Amino acid sequence: GGVGKTTIAKAIYNQIGRSFNYRSFLANIREICEQNVGQVSLQQQLLFDTCKETKTKIQNIEAGKIILKDRLQNKRVLVVLDDVSTLDQLHALCGSRQWFGSGSKIIITTRDMQILKGDRVDQIYRMKEMDKSESVELFSWNAFKQAKPRKELAEFSLEVVEYSGGLPLAL
């Protein structure tokens, strides 16, 4: 957590989203699914975002799968599934490639690489950790509004970077 998966997914969504008539960014899936109606509410949100459907009420996860497949199977969609933590979540929101039309893009962020195993995905991008100099620069921009800390703050900046583990969110 904190390495920047969501930030990069948002940037990609914002950059290419306009070329899709049907799109949705579902954030914090892990957190939402911990609530009683989490997956159903996410299915409802996906249906609203992509099809602007407000009248269709999804009663349960299985009904939601059928409705989503039916409404989206011929549409070219962009869907970002942020912070997926289980296969059940993935299956509830994009059961198979047949759910979506040709040219669709599904972007998944997760901490669990097992979710992406097999033939579920075409490409995997593993986040690279920043090196020490990149971490100091990010910290310096946020703390001091400049690329490098002043000399008297250089040692302190290195301590902060080490303490935070170089995670962008912490920095």
- Residue-wise pLDDT for 82-102, tens only, equals 999 999 999 999 988 889 999
For residue 3, what pLDDT is reported?
Answer: 65
pTM over 0.85: no
DSSP, res 9: H
Q: Which of 1-5, 27-31, 146-150 has the lowest mean pLDDT?
A: 1-5
User: Could you tell me the domains of the chain?
Assistant: 5-116 (3.40.50.300), 132-170 (no CATH)
Q: Are 23 and 78 in contact (CB under 8 A)?
A: yes
> What one-letter code names the amino acid at 29?
I
Q: Which residues contact 80 (CB under 8 A, 6 or more apart)?
A: 9, 10, 12, 13, 24, 25, 26, 106, 107, 108, 109
**DSSP character string of 114-156:** GGG-TTS-S---PPPPP-HHHHHHHHHHHHHSSSS--HHHHHH
Could you read off the pLDDT of 112-143 as tens digits, one per residue? 888 888 777 888 888 777 788 888 888 888 88
Q: Which residues contact 144 (CB under 8 A, 6 or more apart)?
A: 150, 153
